[in-house]
Chains A and B, each alone.
Chain A
Amino acid sequence: MKTTIASLKRGQKAIITALITDQIPLKLLEMGCLPGNEVTLLQTAPFSCPMYLNINGSHLAIRKEVAENIEVELV
């Protein structure tokens, strides 16, 4: 199984490698969620959803089902 943002642990940093683009709102890409950019999992709500991330300098929260469509590589 590939690593996605959904499987990150709190405080872990990773680089975005690929996106399943049909399942991701354009808005997320526009906020900097693009391959090559860095992502850090800052915090999660109970049951790890939603997830509070720092993507490319933007602080934002997304739901787990969206996070599962963003593949990453740990650094």
Chain B
Amino acid sequence: MAKQINVSLIGNPNTGKTSVFNLLTGLKQQVGNYPGITVERKAGVCKLSRGVKAHIIDLPGTYSLNASSLDENVVIEVLLNKKDKDYPDVAVVISDVENIKRNLLLFTQIKDLDIPTILVINMADQMERKGITIDIPELEKRLNTKIVLMSARKKIGVEELKKYIEEYKKLSIAPCLNAFEIDPKYFGGLQKAFPKQSLYKLWLVITQDVNFANIDRNTIADASAFHTKKESELKRLQQKETIKRYQFINQTLKATQEINLENAKGVRAALDHILIHKVWGFAIFFLILLFIFQAIYDWSSYPMDLIDNAFAWMSDFFRETLPSGALTNLLVEGIVPGIGGIVIFIPQIAFLFLFISILEESGYMSRVVFIMDRLMRRFGLSGKSIVPLISGTACAIPAVMATRNIENWKQRLITILVVPFTTCSARLPVYLITISLVIPEHRIAWVFGYQSLTLMLLYFIGFGAALISASLLNKFMKIETKSFFVVEMPNYKIPLFKNVAINIYEKTKAFIAGAGKIILAISIILWFLGSNGFSDNFNNAEGIVSNRIQTEGFSDFNKKSIETELVNYKRALQDSVFKKVYQISPIAINDSIKIKKTILYNLAKSQEISSYKLENSYMGYMGKAITPIVEPLGYDWKIGIAVLTSFAAREVFVSTLATIYSVGSEEEETIKNRMASEINPANGKPLFDFATGISLLLFYAFAMQCASTIAIVKKETNGWMWPSIQFIFMSGLAYVAALIAYQFLK
């Protein structure tokens, strides 16, 4: 069997580790989660010579093996547990050329674990420009390993790295630092107690909260018995270790590295001067945000229209070609629109991640964190909360996941809890259709339409609700955590296309896998509840409706729409005769109008039947049951159902209304016209008036209507407590706000 070599890529954040990983593995990557936690696990395969394969793991970025977050803990777990399937045969530590000193700290720690360790100095093409010269052979000798000068951007050094990986058995595993030196007394005792164990490994086990599921239990039980030192003393020893390591590193680099600072004056200082300026910095950030939102809505509208049409076409196609029956109905009315409901979000999410990964890759995001920290802290958040809050405007799911790099648990928790308030893209269809119904199309000074201003206001309400609830949570939550705000300000870089592309692909895939499944399942359940019933009314719907049409005629809406369609049809026919497109007799014209009339009558009839069926289906009964609850908000049972189903995912609001009103198409104009013609039986006025519309908008702005978000919050907070609180708080607030709005405005 061809031998497989396990390789771990390890490095500080911002060293281009992921670029190296992408370069080695190409698109042959598998991205998943580590079991039980939501830390991303990236693995890939790289072919070496003679059929040997390298199985490469891209470990989360870390500054040292003293973990302070879940992500960093994964690194230690993999490196300490020899039975772990990812335990490396060889480790590759990636450093960027400017921060070798700091990266060597991590390098020496890993080398001390008896793992052969190769050092990659990435971005080596910039050495000359930065005024750095390194004596590689001497450094190799002092660190006792092989060093690769690499540029992932210019694809330099890959072959050399592959060669060293293949020959990993030739590498020395001698440690850089004798752990004994840190504190002879303490470590002497430790060595006496466990003579067979590597001293540095023992030390790491004692200081870390590592979950050693597979390691020899005895050793650990004994080790915890060895907790003779207090936490503060252990911390002091950790600091001593760091100092000792830096002494070694400083000596090593003094002999091997020269930095000529004269050459190092870069664009960095100039860009920093503007981008984190006390005035310009904020102005630029605001402009960038404005551009991103504008671009997302403008650019994604084209693919979204295409997707919309494609799925409508697919539904029609299956309806016409497949034999009619329950299965075809499930496909045409449940599954296809369900999948369409997921795919429609892909353009927006992809564009958002395009911008976010460009901002992150370029190094700008750290500057945003820097300028926003002070402001965000006022609300109990951290500067690092800004990234999740921006991501939240696309989708709360990736946004909740993006909170992971906030080290302070309280600030992270608050961010997770308030992020679903931001206006995500699933709210947009509801907002757009409601606004177009109840807000006049009037413009102020020809530029700002009332409608677009309302939409903007809704975004502000979302952010405002997030910030205000954050400061409330901050006041009432009694969690004592120390603030460990340390942000590295990386150098500016031009983003690598490949990294951005892979990031967009992975994030979009995660959204489809996470949210998509739930949206699809809900669509199918909705279809079932709406197309099945137990009552006589449901089973005899056809007869009942036919009788009604014979005695009373069609509903007012259908009467009117048939009339207008016929008038239009007649006019079109006469026009074409007049323009000599057709040569037909007046009798033939009358015949064709008759045929058109029959088609329209049949269509209207089947629509009224399905509407009647829905009213008497399981879903109809559910809707009528909740009427007393939603009536004070200005909703009837139909809107009630749409609101109820939206608790699974907001975006089903429009499609549910489309089904209930039996419009038969999800074409926005049609649904809108139908909604506009809906009459409130209580007062004879349009149901969707200003009061109901505002109440609906506020309800959707605040309510926690997304099963996928609840699922991800449960995962990230380790339990049902926080998602339950979040659900009750947000939905309660939504109800109260909608109630007040309706009662005041009606």
Contacts and interface: CB of A to CB of B under 8 A. Distances in A.
A49 B239 contact: no
Contacts of B366: 61
Contacts of A59: 268, 488-491
A46 B131 CA distance: 33
Contacts of B102: 30-32, 56-58
Interface residues of A, number: 29
Contact of A34 (B236, B243, B485, B487): B243
Interface string A43-70: 1011101101000111111110110000
B49 interface: no
Which secondary structure characterizes the binding site on chain A? mixed
Given A52-B370, A61-B487, 9 more contacts: A22-B232, A27-B66, A30-B102, A45-B373, A50-B373, A59-B491, A61-B366, A61-B369, A61-B489
B6 interface: no
Interface string B538-567: 000000000000000000000000000000
B489 A30 contact: no
A63 B372 CA distance: 12
Interface of A: 21-22, 25-32, 34, 42-43, 45-47, 49-50, 52, 56-63, 65-66
Contacts of B407: 25
A60 B272 CA distance: 12
Contacts of A22: 232, 235
Interface in B607-637: none
B278 A60 contact: no
A30 B105 contact: yes
A47 B373 CA distance: 11
A30 B64 contact: yes
B488 A31 contact: yes
A68 to B, nearest CB: 12
26 contacts: A22-B235, A25-B482, A26-B64, A27-B63, A27-B64, A27-B68, A29-B242, A30-B64, A31-B486, A31-B488, A32-B101, A32-B246, A34-B243, A43-B272, A43-B273, A45-B278, A45-B370, A45-B374, A56-B102, A57-B98, A58-B99, A61-B369, A61-B486, A61-B489, A63-B483, A63-B485
Q: Is the interface of B mostly helix, strand, loop or mixed?
A: helix
Contacts of A21: 235-236, 239
Question: Which 4 A-B residue pairings sit nearest by Cβ, starting from the closest?
Answer: A25-B484, A59-B489, A61-B487, A30-B64
B66 to A, nearest CB: 5
A2 B232 CA distance: 24
Contacts of B374: 45-47, 49-50
Contacts of A31: 63, 102, 486, 488
B371 to A, nearest CB: 6
A60 B487 contact: yes
Contacts of A60: 486-489
B68 A58 contact: no
B380 interface: no
Interface string B249-271: 00000000000000000001100
B272 A30 contact: no
A11 to B, nearest CB: 11
Nearest to A48: B374
Contacts of B419: none
